[in-house]
Structure 1
């Protein structure tokens, strides 16, 4: 996850933009960008955001 924004708010914005514009699911985003989904979710959850698969975004 070194190539991703480290600031939680910037990471939140970056991931949601990618989900909106390029990826139909968090699993596909993580596979394509070689991101550990568990670590990503832990980092965003710690900042108060949770993934909603129906909306395909963190909120």
Structure 2
């Protein structure tokens, strides 16, 4: 699966997927075969971190 490389576009994509289809980041990454570390590190560059309670990057 190809995901956006741009951090802002990635943020939008991941948060939408989490909101609409996945109950947490681990399941999303497993189902879509994505690197959790890549997502976390990329979104950290724009000061977003995963919030488990909200199930989104904030």
TM-score per shorter chain, which class? Answer: over 0.9
How far, CA to CA, are the matches of 1:54 and 1:42 in structure 2?
19
Gaps of 5+ in 2: none
Other-structure match for 1:16: 15
Pair 1:29 & 2:55 matched: no
SS across alignment from 1:6: coil
Other-structure match for 2:47: 48
**RMSD, matched Cα:** 1.0
Task: Report the Cα offset of residue 55 of structure 1.
Answer: 0.2
Alignment TM-score, normalising by the size of structure 1 = 0.93
How far, CA to CA, are the matches of 1:56 and 1:19 in structure 2?
7
Alignment TM-score, normalising by the size of structure 2 = 0.94
Pair 1:5 & 2:7 matched: no
Task: Report the Cα offset of residue 32 of structure 1.
Answer: 0.5
Gaps of 5+ in 1: none
How far, CA to CA, are the matches of 1:19 and 1:50 in structure 2?
14
